[in-house]
Structure 1
Amino acid sequence: MAAGYLEILRARHAARLLTGTLVGRLPNATAAIAIVLFVRAEGGTYSLAGGLAAVYGVANAVGQPVLGRLVDLHGQPRVQLPAALASALAMACFAVTGTDPLALAYACVAAAGLFTPPLEGGLRALWPSVLGREEQVHTAYAMDAVAQEVMFAAGPLLVTLCVSLWSAGAALVVVNVIGVLGALSVVVSPPSRAWRSAPREAHWLGALRSRGLLALLGAFLFVGMALGSITVASVPYADEHGGDAVYGWIMAAIGLGALIGGTVYGARRWTGEPARRLQVLVALLAVCYLPLMLMPGAVAMVLLTVVAGLFLAPVIACAFVLVDRHAPRGTVTEAFSWIVTTFTVGASVGTGLAGPVVEAGGAVWGYAVPGAAGGVSLLVLLATGRVLAAPGGPRVVAACSENDPNRAVEPRFSSGDRA
């Protein structure tokens, strides 16, 4: 199982790019908890902390595809590093000024979210130029999804460690400095400096003119909703079965399940249509959410949550393959950034939806939301199956400048036009 991953990590620059991207994304992965802890340390209310965290999340969702388009137009170093510096400076300003004046606090977190560099989409755009074969790129997508789970588990631990050793404000600064160093490591690497997007058709919709990408975004909105709703539904369950410790174990179990599932998925070379495979994976994801409604004892519930997370990373990895296939020429970074944005928005919607559901029917109905959301995601994929079907003919990944290995000219493409 490890052979495929080791083969990728032995490829020149691969380990550096993966590590640098994960480190560079640390501020984004820890922003919510870091903001909440800082606001509470400043004497603010949970409502204020939640409001500031929400503003960061919305700004981040807006900024990712915008910056992704700029990366496609101007290259990675000219966008990623300035964006990382701007985001870190904004968060440092927030750490220094605190929550008073309130308008400045909101402006700082909004700027920090808006300028978060699209390192995730940028890494996926680099894989074809770093790796030589299509199956290696697909394995790299799975490894990327698995690594995210490790980062999202380790990030909050780093924040709480900084808070305990120094202060909540210091944690904000330290995490963002580390993030800038990670982004710097990526953008000064030869693959990042050499990467150039293919010429693109001038179109204001950019990547969103692809019907296949729109279908994926519609499905992923509900996958995000499923994951977001679990975080809320688990709160009343934990209150009745052991408190915060049980809640922490449940949240960790989701990541553990995704880690196991993604590792196994990426270790195998898959054949057949990825669109059909994504339908099967989403169906399994939705089915595995349903046993959570049984709400057994804490130990059994944690085990069920591990099972519920098994197909999350495989779904993400398979979706990356389809994004690669359906992103219009010259829009690969933007297309991957749209997936990140849609998943984030879906998780926020799921969190907001699960709250009233839990208040009305308790935790059991809260746990019904992820299964229902997964079912709707499957319906979207089934309804758009023809659109998502891969184009005919074999696809071979070569060492090229972006995820457009066949360099097929799109209809109405005008050479040299750049949106």
Structure 2
Amino acid sequence: MLSTYRPVLRLPGVARLYLVGFVARMPASMVGVVLTLHVVATLDRGYAQAGVVAAAATTGAAIGAPWRGRLVDRVGLRRAILPSVVVESAVWLTAPHLGYEALIVASLVAGLFLVPVFSVTRQSLSVLVPFELQRSAFALDSVCVELTFMLAPVLGVVLATQVSTTAALTVVGCITVAAGVLLMWANPPTRSAVPTQADAPAAESASGRIVSLPLLVVLLANLAATFVLVGTDVALVAALNEAGRPGDVGWMVALWAGGSVIGGLVYGARKRGLPPLVLVAILALATVPAAFAPPPVWLALAVVLAGLPCAPALSAINSTLVSLVDERRRGEVMGWSGTMSTVGTALGAPACGFVIDRSSPGAGFLAASVVGGGVALVGLAALRLTRGRRAARAAERAPVPELVDA
């Protein structure tokens, strides 16, 4: 397995990019659980209302991601993210002192100016890593994301439960400033010295809009995967709170991410990958056992199982995406990918929270699985139907051989 990743890590700038991305993603990976605990415990609201706060942040991110990506393409990384660093730090340093309604507005603003760490890291990988190594590179990037999610939420939960949620949100603001400054210092490349075309570039209309069906399928996979992940996150917090074990949230999330690390390393070492929608369907199916697992032991085993397909699904989405897009438009398209991810979060958090408030945490796991898996299956069916129609049309246009008498 090491022989698979050694050539990637030896490429100039790649190891540093992984390290910078690991640190810079920490605020994003801890803020969700901290916000949920703050709304439920400190503001004394329900899980559906906590989901609304999360949805406000992700709705803002969905709106802001494409233009931030386009800005990176046009003016470069440092000039593009400087306003984000300033606004994000101001929002998260004042958020702990706001009421519920004001917190919704602040979360929306934070989403609009979210530092595009995830998309920039993947965009830079597509520049630094040759195409034949990109599947392994993106698998390793997904593993790094999971490692961040193993450590950062634990820090957030410890601060929120042992000190206060106000202190936890303040730390989020401080780390946001540090992460933004670190990313600006590293300034990873987002475009080759000589711009290149992807192996299968998406077609563009006269207006410059990308209209590739494969691209739409990848974006749909991203939405479905995010819905499953955020629903699982909300349901896990609810299950442990209901069992009177809120302090277990951190290490349970770490186990979930640990399963994803194992799955990502194994997947990245494979010689062949799987289509993103297939992996998303597997991800949804793997989440079902958590709905019936009592905490803590059985739930711990269930979240490890649920985590195994996470990194493979995300790495397949990202590696497929960059293979479809001309790098001159890659920042913008990665922004649209981020938009689909945040739409999945904006839908998944309140929807699963609504189900949990009216039923049980187990129903939240099932809702995430059914909806996310259903979207993946619909996408697979639509893609298969489209391919079938194209094959039928090709057969109709094929010349009919003439019959010659013997």
Shift of 1:282: 3.0
Which letter maps to 1:141? Answer: F
What is aligned with 1:153?
A: 150
Q: Is the Cα–Cα contact under 8 Å of residues 197 and 330 in structure 1 kept in the other structure?
A: yes
Aligned Cα root-mean-square deviation (Å):
3.6
Shift of 1:86: 3.4
Q: 1:36 to 1:223 in 2, by over 3 A?
A: closer
Distance 2:386 2:367 in 1: 27
Shift of 1:151: 1.1
Which letter maps to 1:255? Answer: A
Which letter maps to 1:68? Answer: G
Q: Is the Cα–Cα contact under 8 Å of residues 224 and 346 in structure 1 kept in the other structure?
A: yes
Distance 1:357 1:36 in 2: 16
Q: Is the Cα–Cα contact under 8 Å of residues 122 and 138 in structure 2 kept in the other structure?
A: yes
Q: 1:91 to 1:203 in 2, by over 3 A?
A: farther
Q: After TM superposition, list the pairs within 5 Å mapping 1:51-130 onto structure 2.
A: 52-92=53-93, 94=95, 98-99=97-98, 108-130=106-128
What is aligned with 2:318?
A: 320
What is aligned with 1:278?
A: 276
Shift of 1:310: 0.6
Instruction: List per-residue Cα deviations over 1:209-265 (Å, max 9, x = no partner).
Output: 332222222233222222222234335543565632455454333212111101111
What is aligned with 1:374?
A: 373
Shift of 1:316: 0.9
Q: TM-score, normalised by structure 2?
A: 0.78
Q: Is the Cα–Cα contact under 8 Å of residues 143 and 311 in structure 2 kept in the other structure?
A: yes
Distance 1:179 1:328 in 2: 28
What is aligned with 2:255?
A: 253
Residue 311 (structure 2) pairs with residue 310 (structure 1): no
Distance 1:312 1:334 in 2: 24
Residue 386 (structure 2) pairs with residue 384 (structure 1): no
3-state SS of paired residue (1:117): coil
What is aligned with 1:20?
A: 20
Q: Is the Cα–Cα contact under 8 Å of residues 121 and 334 in structure 1 kept in the other structure?
A: no
Q: Is the Cα–Cα contact under 8 Å of residues 227 and 347 in structure 2 kept in the other structure?
A: yes
Q: After TM superposition, list the pairs within 5 Å mapping 1:216-231 onto structure 2.
A: 216-231=218-233
Distance 1:235 1:157 in 2: 13
Which letter maps to 1:286? Answer: A
**Sequence identity percentage:** 28
Distance 1:263 1:101 in 2: 41
Distance 2:112 2:205 in 1: 24
Which letter maps to 2:232? Answer: I
Shift of 1:51: 5.2
Q: Is the Cα–Cα contact under 8 Å of residues 77 and 193 in structure 1 kept in the other structure?
A: no
Q: Which moved more, 1:167-176 or 1:372-381?
A: 167-176
Q: 1:388 to 1:162 in 2, by over 3 A?
A: farther
Q: Is the Cα–Cα contact under 8 Å of residues 36 and 50 in structure 1 kept in the other structure?
A: yes
Instruction: List per-residue Cα deviations over 1:296-340 (Å, max 9, x = no partner).
Output: 563223212211211111011111122113235632122222223
Q: 1:185 to 1:159 in 2, by over 3 A?
A: farther
Aligned residues: 377
Q: Is the Cα–Cα contact under 8 Å of residues 43 and 99 in structure 2 kept in the other structure?
A: no
Distance 1:46 1:69 in 2: 38
Q: Is the Cα–Cα contact under 8 Å of residues 69 and 331 in structure 1 kept in the other structure?
A: yes
Distance 2:283 2:110 in 1: 33
Distance 1:194 1:292 in 2: 44
Distance 1:172 1:128 in 2: 29
Q: Is the Cα–Cα contact under 8 Å of residues 36 and 50 in structure 2 kept in the other structure?
A: yes
Q: 1:218 to 1:100 in 2, by over 3 A?
A: closer
3-state SS of paired residue (2:328): coil
Shift of 1:21: 2.4
Shift of 1:18: 1.8
Shift of 1:122: 1.8
Distance 2:349 2:143 in 1: 23
Point out where structure 2 has 5 or more consecutive residues left out of the alignment. 198-202, 389-406
Q: Is the Cα–Cα contact under 8 Å of residues 120 and 337 in structure 1 kept in the other structure?
A: no
Shift of 1:28: 2.4
